Amino acid sequence: MSARSSTRSLTRALPRALPLTPAVILLLLFLAGPIAYCAYIAFTDLQLTGQAEDSFIGFENFRTAFGDEAFLNAVWLTLVFTVISALLGQNTLGLALAALMQRASKPVRTLVGGIVVTAWVLPEVVAGFLLYAFFRREGTLNAILDWLHLPTQNWLYTLPILAVSFANVWRGTAFSMLVYSAALNEIPKEITEAAEVDGAGGWRRMWHITLPMIRRSIGTNLMLITLQTLSVFGLIWVMTRGGPGGKSQTLPLFMYEEAFQKSMIGYGTAVALLLLVVGSLFSVLYLRLLRTEV
Amino acid sequence: MPPRTRTPASRRAVRHRLAADAGLLVVAAAFVLPLAWVVLSSLDAQADLRVKLPDGLTFDNFDAVLTPDITFTPLLNSLLLCGGGTALTVACAALAAYPLSRFRSRLNRPFLLTILFATSLPITAIMVPVYALFVQVNLIDTMQGTIFFFAASQLPFAIWLMKNFMDGVPKELEEAAWTDGASSFQSLVRVVLPLMGPGVAVVTVFSFVMMWGNFFVPFMLLLTPDQMPAAVSINEFFGNRGTVVYGQLAAFSVIYSTPVILLYVGVARRLGGGFALGGAVKG
């Protein structure tokens, strides 16, 4: 391309790109800026109080983190929370609901869809309170177990990570259900019917025909719910505050506690940066799954 | 004797449908319990943490929380924050989507990929540096700072959705407007946006619902109690008031949740259940 034509295309491109400016400014100032700042203060010993200025300390925060039992505990709990609530819970339950809805009668489909989606649309804090009430010692779950003559316990105290995981399943399943419903609706009826005529039972049809046909939806769904679950804060905060004794303290809560309750902004941000890096890796994977779309 | 028209296949279909219905209803029963608690408790003078039918229906809980302090101020704050954030998001996204959808450029693809990448970043992770940054530039504890951050965090997804909807509007109509002497901006506002009304509604409602329910952002960025939106002020029921009056907490939860549920239902009805997923999860 000659210099002149590239200048001409530039003079034409610039006014056309003008409408992008407000969005780009907002994104640079309030999203890219903080992320860059995050990458900087993660390497400092910035604190909230009692310190004249922060200094650059290199990888010290990260070294501290990997020697810190509370941090490793938070990593482990984040993993447990993500696997139980997103991969096993939301994903599987969402797929099961979507598959059942294909066969169910319309009123039942509408009713069940409405209930599950309501749980999803509720504000995060409200969802937290509802599930807090459900799992409390004097709450609904124990009342039901008692009525069935099953042993009860103080769920938020003995198994807090399980309780918040179930809460997240309750709140998040609608997303997977909607994704899978859309995917299943796109499978041509003839294919499943042909398999049925050939004598393939329900499970075999699911395993050999349906799942392979919706595998891209499965991929994107897993990616997105993992990312959503990694950043859950309000739900756990309301239900347990990360306690008791850090037993439900996932990384976002650990980050918050280090940065604010212990005033170690630098350290808290280092944890945040790790979370961002993990999120970015998932995000790149997600882009690869979608790469033909853009 | 009535004629027997049912074939074995159709009997099997009925059996399958009944089994599917039963399975779904069992799951729904588990899902509905927490929702039933909040509705029943809000109408119960002796509400506790268990789902139970109230002895008599009462609106005392609603009466008790419908005060400026508990309900009106936080809801008004929520409205300001989320309304401001949504307006900013939708305006910027509509403008940004226009060149991305209408003009070919080598920069479109990298830009859209960056946007899509940002869509799935865990925003929770950057709240600590955002707090530190806001302290330095004096935006901490300001409505406008929070609105800006809300808008920025919602923008990637809004641009992405908006661009996909805009792609669906045929270009010919715009070209007609251009021949009549309209500028690009005029054709965007007068021709393109009205034609993609449902799309704009989806972006608007989705952004609003996301901000309305968000707890962490205002929790971090606002400090003064009378600036708190409902998402944060609801915490007060637990924090500082000693014993929790569950009936009032439930009543407040109902009041706070109703707007987003109505908005969602309004848009979902017109556009089909999976609307909020838009282009982001095709595949």
A149-160 pLDDT, tens digit each: 888 888 888 889
Residue A153 forms contact with B (CB below 8 Å): no
pLDDT on residue A50: 52
Q: Which residue of B has its CA nearest to A216?
A: B283
> How many CA atoms are closer than 13 Å to the CA of A256, on its beta-carbon side?
20
Sign (positive or negative) of CA dihedral A278, A283, A286, A291: negative
- Check whether B80 has a pLDDT greater than 90: yes
Q: Which is higher by pLDDT, A1 or B67? A: B67
Residue with tokens 């004794």: A245
Q: Specify which residues A56 forms β-bridges with.
A: A44
Q: Which is higher by pLDDT, B145 or A63? A: B145
pLDDT band at B2 (very low <50, low <70, confident <90, very high): low
Out of B31, B127, B253, the one facing A119 most closely (by C-beta) is: B31
- Check whether A144 has a pLDDT greater than 50: yes
Query: Could you count the other beta carbons within 10 Å of the beta carbon of residue B58?
Result: 16
| Cβ–Cβ below 8 Å for B231 and A123 | yes
| Cβ–Cβ below 8 Å for B99 and A255 | no
- Shortest Cα distance from B106 to chain A (angstroms)? 10
- Check whether B256 has a pLDDT greater than 60: yes
Residue A281 forms contact with B (CB below 8 Å): no
| Cβ–Cβ below 8 Å for B28 and A119 | no
Sign (positive or negative) of CA dihedral B273, B277, B278, B282: negative
Which residues on chain B are in Cβ contact (under 8 Å) with A256?
127-128
pLDDT (average), residues B202-217? 91
> How many CA atoms are closer than 13 Å to the CA of B282, on its beta-carbon side?
11
- Check whether A3 has a pLDDT greater than 60: no
* Beta carbons within 8 Å of B56's beta carbon, 6+ residues apart: B45
Give chain B as a DSSP string: -------HHHHHHHHHHHHHHHHHHHHHHHHHHHHHHHHHHHT-TT--SS----SS---HHHHHH-SIIIIIHHHHHHHHHHHHHHHHHHHHHHHHHHHHHHS--TTHHHHHHHHHHHHTS-GGGGHHHHHHHHHHTT-TT-HHHHHHHHHHHHHHHHHHHHHHHHHTS-HHHHHHHHHTT--HHHHIIIIIHHHTHHHHHHHHHHHHHHHHH--HHHHHH--SGGG--HHHHTTHHHHTSSS--HHHHHHHHHHHHHHHHHHHHHHHHHH-GGGGGGGGG--
A179-221 pLDDT, tens digit each: 999 888 888 888 877 877 777 777 787 888 888 888 888 888 9
Which residues on chain A are in Cβ contact (under 8 Å) with B142?
none
pLDDT (average), residues A53-74? 82
Percent of chain A with pLDDT over 90: 36
Residue A95 forms contact with B (CB below 8 Å): no
- Check whether A76 has a pLDDT greater than 90: yes
**Residues in chain B, overall count:** 283
